[in-house]
Structure 1
């Protein structure tokens, strides 16, 4: 077992590097049970802990006084239950070690985590003890039921004395901890909106990604959302353990506040900021848009704001609503139920949304000078009408476009001063995060706000954003106050400590915090790679994949200019890292050999089918292995196309993310060159699967298979089977 040790009494061997014991009872450990122990999420949590098997043990497991986990005979008899049993045992062992004097509370906390873990596999999962329902409920069980549950849990850990009167105090402490208990993958799905919810039937969220590692899937979806890697999962899991330990030791509020501050500080350090006072945490890039508008209002001198947005069709779907100060979904990051499209309290109805397209009606990119001219015209008319201007620089769009130009923005500020108008606020939408940190620092030095995320290029979990503030904008928080409606969206701890944020509730968004810890693990890994190496690895991959797309007659790559950026030594961000392409419609009538792309809805179907196991829908033969490969790419972008008059095509995206450079943890052991060869080969497999889907389109359209977390054999029998 990678990262842990499987042991049986009296049957131990030592691995070559001497770092771990690998003790295997091969004749008794069934194939299914062995595969449970190899699950990537459990492997990360197990770490170096020794895990044994004792067929004479009648219970599911026991945690020994030395910290060893021993699985019992029920795991062999019902291997499908082994994942939940092992997760329970690992949590219990960790908590007992952390708070040896609080073993009863530790046992109850571990039981809740196990019960919530069991729910993640859905109602069709393995049978669980009756206490699972009580410990997975929204509120803790009553004292009488808790006493019964403890009687079942006590044999699982070293003996502990419990006075009859002590359980009441323990129950009160458990109640205070209840909302913070649970597996990291569940907690990471909270504090966003409904799109983060995992469908138990598929194991995936709205984006086709998972908060559990999914190393068997080929993933180039960083333009939309990625499944967490083992590295990111370990970062979130370590943070979750800190939260629980803080609660167990009576320092829960202090620990949570400190961890939120740490996240803000680490983001600031990554971007070369002097301190975290300029960092606002946000659940998404759309929340960042809302916060940028609020800050523009604080600097508007009471004038209404004109918000100039670049290519709203190539940003987040909710951004145009947030840009007007309106609710952009029916629920907020803090769980408030709101009316989508309704005005948020404190945002005036006079806010105007103006937009500048980046593409012509036929889908071609507009000339930069034309875009700049539109921005200048809209801004000038706005300030001449007595309005404050908030203008966006898009760096980059969903397909990799960058606009407007830096020189135009400098001239715009000069023109405003010359006309006696306030200088426009500029906010850079860098939510794709496909730029060197030095570029972000340069934007801040210009006095511009910058939106970033850890969930796009950095491949952290979806819904972790931040708005970075230059000193001049951060100073606005010392006066006035934020719109009170933001209290439905964020806590005070997400903002710099200032009078303006006191309208917000005290507390922390734990799900957002854990998602950022996962993203920061990836950011740290990338930061360790020298800039010339980053450039070389990206160039090697992108050149090869561009060539593969261009050579495929079923595909048409969308031409995107390289980002026009100021010179930077060994820059890696002056090349497009999002490869967008149209796919030939296999059902389109012949049109003189012309390329007819898939429309938006068929492209969305293709996107889903790439991330599905199709092996049971194609004939037996060599193609079955390819059909079973799970491939996750960026969601289709709706774009006009001359061959679809009156309609829109769907452009799929294959993107290079940070993990491509720093290395997918599941690729450990591969030297850099073979690893990059593997990445290029995987990307070609994605293109090959597209070809397979086109060949079998009618069959697949009739079946409309769903995306799944793992290949179908694993989804059939639960988590206890071999995964690729």
Structure 2
């Protein structure tokens, strides 16, 4: 992006990572004599006017509008009036996300019109166009009025908006951005946060510039095709392409299949459906491993019940109620991986329990759906392959096995091996791959995919999934036609990260993870404030240069600063959740001057606490935080461009050590911080104080 004769505030706006991605190499200049907020020239250049000098927050909104308009005007054969109206719709939604209420400039009366749930009337569009026309090269209003344009806009309306807004749709309430923080339920953003230290891939991550660019390219493609009247075909083509790219990544064959799902919990519903199709009318016994270490809604989904009060498609349902068409006699069984004291159970005991439950269910005339957990929230893998292979050797129809690999911390060759065994595999792009939350997929081996030719999906699944999410099959006719656009954009972002990881040789992946994990494990073990949970190495078949033979989730308890005595007592679950939020918060104004305020102000995003029993907490559950290695650690943040790999890894290791240091700082000042009850924010205080003026990426750690 070329910026000439710009003020320092505007230069900082131009350096925003989201706007930098969108602008690319486009020429941007400032003309203080221009009374309009901006003007897009016939050459595609953007000139910012005097209103952009008001504040960085207002300038960012004007710039986003200008960039959208410039891109749409470059589409061959586009109607420039339609381009102007479409750009205004995106700009209006961007302002709602980005600009504080008090920063909104006067005179932009069209904002409310273009931010509504439907396009304004044809007459009002004419008025809006009169306000927008001066922002672009001279264009005549349509001679026959705006009725035809309004009809086009009505079809385009759901696709028009910034990528970060569209990616928050088609999931559930946890994706909604809190206006007070700029973050969603997971403490992350659909915009890049390169100034934040992020090791939260066991839960969810904010997008990198790479992921944001992947989603933005998909969004612009849909808008471009939609403006040409090919929107329906473009949406279907994008989703088919996502199916193909996921299938190619995991080496699926033509007779296998991919089911797109907003989350791993939705994958659980889909796996139950497919198991029921093979049950021959027998009721299903669904055997879960450590449900407390999977998604919170999984036990409900495993019985065919609504796992929340809303679905990915916006249907309002009753949590816990049976989904229409799912059998009421599904039985949920579970096998714990930890004892009452939180200690790991012997692997042989877990395997034996799985085999006993499966055989008892079969003897009772039930069809078995058994899970292999690869891996849990704290990095556990069970049951062993030997017991699963033994169950598959039953006389008569074998059980169904589904591998919960939603953490995706395994080589694609492992996934291929599971499919070769005839097992379903759940994956997500949102954990290890560091894509945005709520992008899951269920991979189907050939023998399972074939069931979709004859069976019929439950009617209630139409509240959760579009037909386009499933392979083209007769069973899917009960589902509504269409696509989940938010899910498609989230997968587009995740696949950008997956592609980057795929380009790294397996041995290099292994070496970078080993280097990082070794140092960070030592730092956790050396800290008197932390107690690391043991995580056995995943027992998988040997694989040359395997990078997945070592745990990549480091789980640990944190010392309770209020606990008496010298023995280690961990934070309660409630206090661990508070610590998790405070790590992701600028605390620089809450610690005394003699404290390390730079460290206090650092935003650190880690994995959400896992509730676990602990002998030191007789009053309830403790909370184990998680610091995880994700794909971006290996492939590199785009904001790290220019650093040689060794220097980049030094930076990542330094950042992880600063997370440990900030935990110690918070414990030392716990009462003052707790009394202030700070909230997480998208950016540090210097940024928030300047509305949305953003600093450069985080600095190198001290040597």
**The two structures share one fold, judged by TM-score above 0.5:** yes
Q: Does 1:431 align with 2:421?
A: no
Partner of residue 234, structure 1? 213
User: In the TM superposition, what is the alpha-carbon distance from 1:408 to its structure 2 partner?
Assistant: 0.7
Partner of residue 376, structure 1? 355
SS of equivalent to 2:272: helix
Partner of residue 251, structure 1? 230
Instruction: Report if aligned partners of 1:122, 1:201 keep a CA contact under 8 Å in 2.
Output: no
Instruction: Report if aligned partners of 1:561, 1:576 keep a CA contact under 8 Å in 2.
Output: yes
Q: How many angstroms apart in 1 are the aligned matches of 2:519 and 2:693?
A: 37
Which of the residues 661, 686, 692 maps onto 2:665? 692
Deviates more, 1:553-562 or 1:120-129: 120-129
SS of equivalent to 1:427: strand
Q: Does 1:48 align with 2:25?
A: yes
Q: Does 1:39 align with 2:16?
A: yes
Partner of residue 628, structure 1? 601
Instruction: Report if aligned partners of 1:125, 1:718 keep a CA contact under 8 Å in 2.
Output: no
Q: Does 1:126 align with 2:103?
A: yes
Partner of residue 424, structure 2? 449
Q: Output aligned runs, 1:621-700, within 5 Å.
A: 621=594, 623-700=596-673
Partner of residue 372, structure 2? 393
Q: How many angstroms apart in 1 are the aligned matches of 2:40 and 2:438?
A: 36
Give TM-score scaled by structure 2 length. Answer: 0.98
Instruction: Report if aligned partners of 2:61, 2:98 keep a CA contact under 8 Å in 1.
Output: no
User: In the TM superposition, what is the alpha-carbon distance from 1:622 to its structure 2 partner?
Assistant: 5.0
Q: Output aligned runs, 1:427-576, within 5 Å.
A: 427-576=402-551
Q: How many angstroms apart in 1 are the aligned matches of 2:56 and 2:263?
A: 39
SS of equivalent to 1:55: coil
CA deviations over 1:36-90 (Å, ceiling 9, x no partner): 1110000000011111111121100000000001101111234331100000000
Q: How many angstroms apart in 1 are the aligned matches of 2:567 and 2:561?
A: 12
Q: How many angstroms apart in 1 are the aligned matches of 2:145 and 2:244?
A: 41
Q: How many angstroms apart in 2 are the aligned matches of 1:174 and 1:413?
A: 54
Q: How many angstroms apart in 1 are the aligned matches of 2:164 and 2:347?
A: 43
Q: Does 1:315 align with 2:294?
A: yes
SS of equivalent to 2:403: strand
Partner of residue 701, structure 2? none
CA deviations over 1:236-278 (Å, ceiling 9, x no partner): 0000000000100111010000000000100000001124851
User: In the TM superposition, what is the alpha-carbon distance from 1:648 to its structure 2 partner?
Assistant: 1.0
Q: Does 1:585 align with 2:564?
A: no
Partner of residue 71, structure 1? 48
Q: How many angstroms apart in 1 are the aligned matches of 2:99 and 2:47?
A: 26
Q: How many angstroms apart in 1 are the aligned matches of 2:288 and 2:149?
A: 54
User: In the TM superposition, what is the alpha-carbon distance from 1:704 to its structure 2 partner?
Assistant: 1.3
Instruction: Report if aligned partners of 1:269, 1:275 keep a CA contact under 8 Å in 2.
Output: no
Instruction: Report if aligned partners of 1:402, 1:564 keep a CA contact under 8 Å in 2.
Output: yes
Q: Does 1:5 align with 2:6?
A: no
Q: How many angstroms apart in 1 are the aligned matches of 2:550 and 2:121?
A: 60
Partner of residue 358, structure 1? 337
Instruction: Report if aligned partners of 1:95, 1:245 keep a CA contact under 8 Å in 2.
Output: yes
Q: How many angstroms apart in 2 are the aligned matches of 1:42 and 1:292?
A: 40
Q: How many angstroms apart in 2 are the aligned matches of 1:310 and 1:379?
A: 13
Q: Does 1:270 align with 2:270?
A: no
Q: Does 1:706 align with 2:683?
A: no
Which of the residues 215, 223, 247 maps onto 2:194? 215
Distance 1:125 1:678, change over 3 A: farther
User: In the TM superposition, what is the alpha-carbon distance from 1:126 to its structure 2 partner?
Assistant: 1.8
SS of equivalent to 1:256: helix
User: In the TM superposition, what is the alpha-carbon distance from 1:33 to its structure 2 partner?
Assistant: 1.6
Q: How many angstroms apart in 2 are the aligned matches of 1:615 and 1:305?
A: 54
CA deviations over 1:320-345 (Å, ceiling 9, x no partner): 00000000000000000000000000
User: In the TM superposition, what is the alpha-carbon distance from 1:101 to its structure 2 partner?
Assistant: 3.9
Partner of residue 61, structure 2? 84
User: In the TM superposition, what is the alpha-carbon distance from 1:709 to its structure 2 partner?
Assistant: 0.3
Instruction: Report if aligned partners of 2:427, 2:442 keep a CA contact under 8 Å in 1.
Output: yes
User: In the TM superposition, what is the alpha-carbon distance from 1:179 to its structure 2 partner?
Assistant: 1.0
CA deviations over 1:439-475 (Å, ceiling 9, x no partner): 0000000000000000000000000000000000000
SS of equivalent to 1:109: helix
Structure 2: tracts of 5 or more residues without a match: 698-703
SS of equivalent to 1:86: helix
User: In the TM superposition, what is the alpha-carbon distance from 1:123 to its structure 2 partner?
Assistant: 5.0
Give TM-score scaled by structure 1 length. Answer: 0.95
User: In the TM superposition, what is the alpha-carbon distance from 1:31 to its structure 2 partner?
Assistant: 2.1
Q: How many angstroms apart in 1 are the aligned matches of 2:314 and 2:614?
A: 39
Distance 1:99 1:133, change over 3 A: farther
Instruction: Report if aligned partners of 2:72, 2:87 keep a CA contact under 8 Å in 1.
Output: yes
Q: How many angstroms apart in 1 are the aligned matches of 2:682 and 2:23?
A: 21
Q: How many angstroms apart in 2 are the aligned matches of 1:278 and 1:125?
A: 50
SS of equivalent to 1:231: helix
Q: Does 1:150 align with 2:129?
A: yes
Q: How many angstroms apart in 1 are the aligned matches of 2:210 and 2:437?
A: 15
Instruction: Report if aligned partners of 1:276, 1:496 keep a CA contact under 8 Å in 2.
Output: no
Partner of residue 115, structure 1? 92
Distance 1:518 1:385, change over 3 A: same
Instruction: Report if aligned partners of 2:373, 2:380 keep a CA contact under 8 Å in 1.
Output: yes
CA RMSD between the two structures:
1.1
User: In the TM superposition, what is the alpha-carbon distance from 1:646 to its structure 2 partner?
Assistant: 4.9
Partner of residue 152, structure 2? 173
Distance 1:584 1:299, change over 3 A: same
CA deviations over 1:178-222 (Å, ceiling 9, x no partner): 111000000000000000000111100000000000000000000
Q: How many angstroms apart in 2 are the aligned matches of 1:65 and 1:356?
A: 66
Q: How many angstroms apart in 2 are the aligned matches of 1:275 and 1:451?
A: 18
User: In the TM superposition, what is the alpha-carbon distance from 1:100 to its structure 2 partner?
Assistant: 4.5
SS of equivalent to 1:33: helix
User: In the TM superposition, what is the alpha-carbon distance from 1:99 to its structure 2 partner?
Assistant: 4.0
Partner of residue 72, structure 2? 95
SS of equivalent to 1:189: coil
CA deviations over 1:322-374 (Å, ceiling 9, x no partner): 00000000000000000000000000110000000000111111111100000
Instruction: Report if aligned partners of 1:122, 1:200 keep a CA contact under 8 Å in 2.
Output: no
Deviates more, 1:251-260 or 1:117-126: 117-126
Which of the residues 315, 325, 329 maps onto 1:346? 325
Q: Does 1:613 align with 2:586?
A: yes
